[in-house]
Amino acid sequence: MMNPSAKFEELIVKQLESFGCSMGVTHLVMYIASAKQGTKASFEMIGQWPQIERLLISIEDDPRLKVSSPNRRWYPLQENDILLGVLRVETDLKGGNWSVSLDSRLKALSTSLAKCISIELERQNKNEEINYLKNQVNVIIHQLRNPLAALRTYAKLLIKRLGPDDDSIAIVEQMIIEQKQINQYMESFVQLNSPIPLPLEIGEERLLLPPNFDNKKGITVQNLLRPILDRGKANANLENRDWTEPSFWPDWTLSPLKAKFAVIAEIVANLLENAFKYAQKDAEIGLTITSKGLCIFDNGKKITKNENEKIFQKGFRGSAAKKKEGTGVGLFLARKLAKQIGGELRLLENYSIDDTEELKNFKKKNIFYLELPIKELHE
């Protein structure tokens, strides 16, 4: 059974009013088909023109309708083969003389009203689906908390058993860090299940990754990148590929950042994820730092010149990605976020940056240069 919203009812009344007192029409009434479980179908009034006393009365319960009249007609509100409702039209036409033009206009109004009902039903169904999914997410989050807490407990027990001098402790400690990060991701789902303003300035593609830091501490670029680089190094070791990361961190990477620049972590994580996904298994991957930004690179197959800009388009997938899973959103989003913070992201064509000598001899096949507004980064 449909439960019309106030906005839907307002829209219906406006539709009826727009027809107005036209060509002899004196009264328009719209009914919606409804049927409660175990009862026969009925038609409930949802709107009328003119707006006289509003009595929500069904067709079956209106005694005036039990007598036929040449000045009354009924128009079905139909979507494909489904009857959604009816439109009742009362006129003051003498002898029930309905013109073809009046009939055509009323049929057009009926089609429009049927579309309104169809859209409202679809909206209500979507809302029910969303509420169901939100409930399921809450259940999953609740069920995940216990095993995640158990993983942390077992990791701590393992550290005690290994002893302070065991080289494997660093691996176990990294597991604890990753477990903490998963907890942060879970909290982001909790927040998503609460009413939130849509991030319209970014778009529907915004990654749902919380920043890799504690908001109570001063955050630096080094703080942001450290867990991402540790993860990259672990992936490289697992795949037996070369990995390169900074040995020297310039001053601009060590000073506290303004909060909005935390998205640097998302941009870099996106670029490294792409490199691991699409570069050949033996290709070196890594990150280096310049005086003006970050370079994320791989030494795999070079991206073709005609794809240099296309790869940043939403939904575009380069030749290296054709046989791999993906949505073609990663680079589009990374550039969008870079521009949002006053930076720029581009793929270098000649292995070097246009306005610096820093990477003049840095020869890698694919170098994504994230140029940042260095003077604006810090408090």
pLDDT, tens digit, for every residue of 181-190?
A: 788 777 777 7
Q: What is the mean pLDDT of the chain?
A: 81
DSSP 214-243: -TTS---HHHHHHHHHHHHHHHHHHHT--E
The predicted pLDDT at position 202 comes to 44
The predicted pLDDT at position 319 comes to 63
Contacts for 256-259: CB closer than 8 Å, 24+ residues apart: 256/218, 256/219, 256/220, 256/378, 256/379, 257/219, 257/220, 257/221, 257/224, 257/377, 257/378, 257/379, 258/376, 258/377, 258/378, 258/379, 259/219
E strand intervals along the chain: 25-34, 42-49, 72-79, 82-91, 243-244, 285-289, 293-298, 344-347, 366-371
* pLDDT tens digits, 116-140: 999 999 999 998 888 888 878 777 7
Rounded average pLDDT over 49-73: 74
Asked if 263 and 341 count as a contact pair (C-beta separation under 8 A), the reply is yes
Does the model's pTM come out above 0.75? no
3-state secondary structure of 284: coil
Rounded average pLDDT over 306-324: 73
Q: Is the pLDDT of residue 369 over 90?
A: yes
Across the beta sheet with 344-347, the strand order is: 243-244, 285-289, 293-298, 366-371, 344-347
Residue in the block written with tokens 């506290």: 256
The predicted pLDDT at position 169 comes to 84
Share of the chain above pLDDT 90, in %: 27
Q: Is the pLDDT of residue 204 over 50?
A: no
* pLDDT tens digits, 275-305: 988 898 889 999 999 989 999 999 988 888 8
Domains belonging to the chain, first-starting first, are 6-126 (3.30.450.40), 212-376 (3.30.565.10)
Q: Is the pLDDT of residue 207 over 60?
A: no
The predicted pLDDT at position 112 comes to 93
Choose among 103, 29, 111: nearest CA to 76.
111
CA distances from 225 to 203, 212, 245, 269, 296 (A): 24, 8, 10, 9, 12
The predicted pLDDT at position 200 comes to 42
The predicted pLDDT at position 266 comes to 86
**Which residues face 294 on adjacent strands?**
289, 370
The predicted pLDDT at position 55 comes to 56
The predicted pLDDT at position 356 comes to 56
The predicted pLDDT at position 153 comes to 80
pLDDT band at 370 (very low <50, low <70, confident <90, very high): very high
The sign of the torsion formed by the CA atoms of 194, 175, 252, 214 equals positive
The predicted pLDDT at position 139 comes to 74
- Single-letter amino acid code for the residue at 197: P
* pLDDT tens digits, 263-274: 899 899 889 988
The CA distance from 77 to 89, in Å, is: 13
The CA distance from 174 to 285, in Å, is: 21
The predicted pLDDT at position 206 comes to 43
Share of the chain above pLDDT 70, in %: 82
Structure tokens at 291: 């005086």
Q: What are phi and psi of 117, to 5 degrees?
A: -65, -45
CA distances from 246 to 243, 268, 287, 358, 376 (A): 10, 14, 7, 14, 22
Structure tokens at 137: 């997410």
Choose among 36, 32, 24: nearest CA to 86.
32
Asked if 299 and 280 count as a contact pair (C-beta separation under 8 A), the reply is no
The predicted pLDDT at position 1 comes to 61
The predicted pLDDT at position 330 comes to 77
